[in-house]
Amino acid sequence: MYEIKTTNLLRQVMRDYFQGFAGKKVAWCTSVGPAELLRSFGFEVYFPENHGALLGATRTAMDYIPAATKCGYSGHVCSYTTSDIGAFLSNETPLKKQYGLEGVPRPDLIVYNTNQCREVEDWFHFYAREFNCPIAGIHPPRHLHELSRDEIDLVVKQFKKIIPACEQASGVRFDLDRFREVLKLSKEATLLWQQVLKTAKASPPPLSFFDGVIHMGPIVVLRGTQVAKDYYEQLLAEMEANVAEGKGILKNEHCRIFWDGMPIWGKIRPLSDLFLQNNTSVVASTYCNSWIFDDFDEREPFESSALAYTQIFINRSEQAKMDFFKKWIDEYRVDGVIFHDSKTCFNNSNSRFGMNLQLKQQLGIPTLVVEGDLCDLRFYSEGQTITKIETFIEQIESRMMAGEGLLLRGGQ
Ligand code: SF4
């Protein structure tokens, strides 16, 4: 059976990360927030969204969401937010059982960036009140087609504005050279992660979207560290070796799918199995590509951070997103696109405004919308989803047999 051996190292890296907060200054940060700037002050950086994903993956999220709804949060807002706040109010976390922690690490500073959504601002302010902790935010322009110099300058000013709060909470003076070093490490890791994802261009691919969401742990929580860089060097070496030997997740790949939107964390394994049973690879995703910040440049640390973090996919115009899709569909030789319409995250559900239909019209590529949620499985119907996905794959295969797939792929 095909296995990714580097998974053993991943377990160790994540264990060390979670057990490494004791006695350190801790900053909480959004998943695409200014982690490098925070690390340059010596903070250990903790990511509540990663905790939300853990609650989803362990299928404990639904146990805690009611505690947050009792506190006034709608059950229809981000289930990372509601499950994370609910777990906090219940004094519970999977980190106790998995890593022996007493609870989530206490913050000395909380920092967010609304480049992904406004929800994080409300979510993080809840904790600022609970812990009586200083909080600072970056509020970049949203949903841009292209970024102008004015917009980058605005975000640079906001990055610089959080420095005094970082200095005060860490007790460390800002050091531009240290920031450059951390950013350089982050860039090196992000480029390695990009190369890892690109190995899935091979047929069969050495990893799928479902492997990617597990192996992206270090690029989310440890970017800016040597550990993350070393981790992706090892993972990339394994992926490249497997491609060279023709080893991959499938023996006989019939169909290649792109996944848009959030993972359904509580169903990663069964969904992965479902696609494999249907000889189908989910080769790429908007989600895993969201942690590629290839514009980082340590020579211009503020400008390049502002650029890289503001021009992320989720923060772009519909037209810019369409351009991303076209590039990925071509690059990964995709036969069909699945849009996950995540009930509690409209920010990352691109079919809500008809992007699936536009793609189908413009590229002739089959698309499917699957209803579900990132953490709250009450919004997910397993039977219906399996039927929809299997029917979708059958339709794609019929088209390919009729020759349309060959035309779509440029005759390859
Ligand atoms: S992008 Fe979606 S899932 Fe992520 S924090 Fe915002 S609302 Fe929640």
Which atom of ligand 1 is closest in space to residue 262's alpha carbon?
3
Q: Distance, CA 192 to ligand 1 centroid (Å)?
A: 25
Decide whether any atom of ligand 1 lies within 6 Å of the 119 Cβ. yes
Nearest to 264 by CA among 391, 348, 120, 376: 376
d(CA 101, CA 51): 13
Among 54, 125, 312, 348, the mutation site with the greatest number of ligand 1 atoms within 8 A of its Cβ is 348
What's the CA angle centered on 383, arms 380 and 387, to 5 degrees? 110
117 lines ligand 1 (CB under 6 A): yes
Determine the distance separating the centroid of ligand 1 and the alpha carbon of 242, expressed in angstroms: 34
The answer to whether the CB of 78 is under 6 A from ligand 1 is yes
Distance from the alpha carbon of residue 315 to the mean position of ligand 1, in angstroms: 12
Regarding pTM above 0.85, the answer is yes
Token pair, residue 131, equals 């812990």
State the residue for tokens 């989720």. 314
pLDDT of residue 401: 87
In angstroms, what is the span from residue 376 Cα to ligand 1's centroid?
13
Is the minimum distance from the CB of 208 to ligand 1 under 6 angstroms? no
Atom 6 of ligand 1: nearest residue by CA position:
117
Residue segments in the chain with a per-residue pLDDT below the cut of 70: 404-412
Domain 179-406 has CATH 3.40.50.11900: yes
The owner of tokens 């000395």 is 108
CA–CA gap between residue 403 and residue 410 (Å, rounded): 11
Helix 149-161 and helix 163-170, axial crossing angle in degrees, nearest 10: 20
Ligand 1 proximity of 222 Cβ (cutoff 6 Å): no
> How far apart are the C-alpha atoms of 354 and 307, rounded to whole Å?
28
Cα 277 from Cα 379, distance rounded (Å): 24
- Ordered DSSP codes for 258-277: EEES---GGGHHHHHHHHHH
Q: Find the distance separating the first CA and the last CA of the chain, reported in whole Å.
A: 28
Q: Which CATH class is domain 14-175?
A: alpha beta
pLDDT, tens only, 166-220:
999 999 999 999 999 999 999 999 999 999 999 999 999 999 999 999 999 999 9
Give the HSE-up count for residue 245: Cα atoms under 13 Å, Cβ half-sphere: 11
Q: Tokens 């801790």, residue? A: 26
Neighbours of 355 (CB within 10 A): 19
Q: How far is the CA of 411 from the centre of ligand 1 (A)?
A: 39
Residue ranges per structural domain of the chain: 14-175, 179-406
Q: Is 113 in the pocket of ligand 1 (CB under 6 A)?
A: no
Task: Give the distance (Å) from ligand 1 centre to CA of residue 85.
Answer: 14
Q: Determine which residue's CA is closest to atom 2 belonging to ligand 1.
A: 345
Contact present, 201 and 412 (Cβ < 8 Å): no
What residues contact 383, with CB distance under 8 A and at least 6 apart? none
CB 304 within 8 A of CB 179: no
**What pLDDT, on a 0 to 100 scale, did the predictor assign at position 410?**
43
Ligand 1: atom nearest CA of 123 is: 5
Cα 76 off chain centre by: 21
Peptide bond into 366 cis (omega under 30): no
How far is the centre of ligand 1, averaged over its atoms, from the C-alpha of 52 (Å)? 10
83 within ligand 1 shell (Cβ under 6 A): no
E strands, 103-216, where? 109-113, 135-138
Q: What is the DSSP letter of 351?
A: G
The whole-number pLDDT of residue 406 equals 52
Nearest to 336 by CA among 387, 260, 401, 267: 260
CA dist., res. 33 & res. 113, Å (int) = 5
Edge-to-edge strand ranges of the sheet holding 26-29: 44-46, 26-29, 109-113, 135-138
Ligand 1 in contact with 120 (CB < 6 A)? yes
pLDDT at 330: 97
**31 CB near ligand 1 (under 6 Å):** no
Ligand 1 centre from 145 Cα, in Å? 21
Report the nearest atom of ligand 1 relative to the CA of 117: 6
Check if 347 has its Cβ closer than 6 Å to any atom of ligand 1: yes
User: What is the model's pLDDT at position 170?
Assistant: 98
- Could you tell me the maximum CA-CA distance found in the chain, to the nearest angstrom? 67
pLDDT in tens, 222-280: 999 999 999 999 999 999 999 999 999 999 999 999 999 999 999 999 999 999 999 99
